Structure 1
Amino acid sequence: MRLSKIKNGLLLCLLLLPLQAWAGDDEVIAVTGRAEVAMVPDMALVNLIVMREAETAAEALNENSQALEGVLAALHEEGIKSRDIQTSQFSIDPRYIYPDHNKPRQLVGYTVRNGLSLRIRDLSKLGALLDKVVTLGVNEGGNIQFINEDPAEAVKQARVQAVQNAMNTAKTLAEAAGVKLGDLVHLAEQSAPPRAQPVMLETHYAKTAARSAVPVAVGENHYSVSVSMSYEIKQ
């Protein structure tokens, strides 16, 4: 009988151990903090496309190449370095017409597209540069993304502010609950890419219309950081 009671007591202790450990792990204050820092962009990523159509692939390619050479020359004249110019796409596609359902399609020509990705480091030149390359042959594209070449300082500030925000929240909760904060037992970060709206530019102009530099709004990039923190509760 006595041996049976000892066994039952040991079994009860073993069953309680996981529950006690789980309860101890829960004796924390868990909080999150978030901060966002704005930074004015200092660089633009621009995608431009020269598209030409002709009856033969060779003619379309020749016309496209001539137009692209003029665009590249203009970019270099404006101070854009070769390291900031990259071919992003190239394609030669046949063009067909479909007379009706009873006749086969007919080949009527070819389309050649040659795309460039640019890094514009002097944003004060961006509007005039876009206007110039359009007059020289760019007739598709125009997507712009404003970025920061080195956002490290903005991200650092967001980290500091997010941690401080979480710490203040933890102190407020502890005071409201009438307890004291113990050691920090958990800290994790979640950062998000900068939020910036892409700018779409119209690249169709009337040949006789008077025009000035394309208006461009740079705006701001917003770098956000979120952190989660857990503190022990002092007994």
Structure 2
Amino acid sequence: MKLISTVVAALFCAHSYAGSLPLTPHLYVQGNAHMQVQPDQAVIRVAITQKSKSLPEAKTTVDDIMANAIAIAKSHHIRVDDIHAEQLNVYRQTRYNRTTNQEEFEGFRVSRALTLTLKKLEDYPVLLQKLVDAGINEFNNTQFEVSNRSTLMKDLNKAAIKDAKLAAKELASDFEVKLDGLYSVSFSPMETPRTPYARAESMKLMHASSGNVEQAYNTGALTLNAKVYAVYTIDN
């Protein structure tokens, strides 16, 4: 019986750590929620890089390819606000000659980066091919996203809060104690060395269907997650 009392005390009444937990008996729980959604837009990051000993020649080539790439993006109904062409970057390249012990000029490396937000995912494969044909030679990263992410996350946060309430009731019931009230809540982990209690199964919201990814390189579904951390005091 004494051992059980010691375990309960360790769970409910640890020292306050950085002011995030109360000194009175309490429960520290974690609420979780997740949702799988289909992406409905893609952020495409590409670039054109040209090397030449003639700087004007390299710059002209890069500018022409970039102009064509922007025209291609507009032809796929990408808005001007979703087209971001960066400034020209120029690097003078040299190579160390071990025979002469001197740096030798090799040429100029000229590049420009382009970021596009495509909101018609079925155009993704065709758009990439057109960019390649236009002379784009660097594909840095494509990030698939959902346009209504903020709205979905609000719903997920509410579900995570509901899950935290259930976790608190579940834990209180297991130890046959009564919840007194909510002490604090945060969407970031509390400053404590202890791990919060979480239910075995987190709240799962219904699948949210957005874009048609079957034709967009089979990108698959995205998983959105929300977590909330709550401290409840218990009735002595």
Name the TM-score class by shorter chain.
0.7 to 0.9
Deviation at 1:101, TM superposition (A): 4.7
| Greater RCO structure (CA 8 Å; 6+ sep) | 2
Q: How does 1:69-84 map to 2 (within 5 A)?
A: 69-84=67-82
Q: How does 1:68-217 map to 2 (within 5 A)?
A: 68-190=66-188, 216-217=217-218
Deviation at 1:233, TM superposition (A): 1.9
Deviation string, structure 1 residues 92-130 (Cα, Å, up to 9, x no partner): 112323332533122132121011111111111011000
Count of paired positions: 191
Q: How does 1:51-62 map to 2 (within 5 A)?
A: 51-62=49-60
Q: State whether residues 27 and 168 of structure 2, in contact with CA within 8 Å, keep that contact through their aligned partners in structure 1.
A: yes
- Please give the TM-score of this superposition, normalised by the length of structure 2: 0.73
Larger radius of gyration: 1
The root-mean-square deviation of aligned C-alpha atoms, in Å, is 2.2
Q: Does 1:43 align with 2:41?
A: yes
Deviation string, structure 1 residues 65-93 (Cα, Å, up to 9, x no partner): 12222222222222222111112352111
**CA distance in 1 between partners of 2:170 and 2:153 (Å):** 26
**CA distance in 2 between partners of 1:219 and 1:188 (Å):** 31
**CA distance in 1 between partners of 2:101 and 2:173 (Å):** 82
**CA distance in 2 between partners of 1:156 and 1:126 (Å):** 29
Q: Which residue of 2 aligns with 1:221?
A: 222
Q: Which residue of 1 aligns with 2:235?
A: 234
Please, which runs of 5 or more residues in structure 1 have no aligned partner?
1-21, 192-213
Q: State whether residues 44 and 145 of structure 1, in contact with CA within 8 Å, keep that contact through their aligned partners in structure 2.
A: yes
94-103 vs 125-134, greater mean Cα deviation: 94-103
Please, which runs of 5 or more residues in structure 2 have no aligned partner?
1-15, 17-21, 190-214
> After the TM superposition, which parts of structure 1 deviate over 3 Å for at least 4 consecutive aligned residues?
none
Identical-pair percentage = 23
**CA distance in 2 between partners of 1:114 and 1:186 (Å):** 49
**CA distance in 1 between partners of 2:124 and 2:182 (Å):** 49
Q: State whether residues 121 and 216 of structure 2, in contact with CA within 8 Å, keep that contact through their aligned partners in structure 1.
A: no
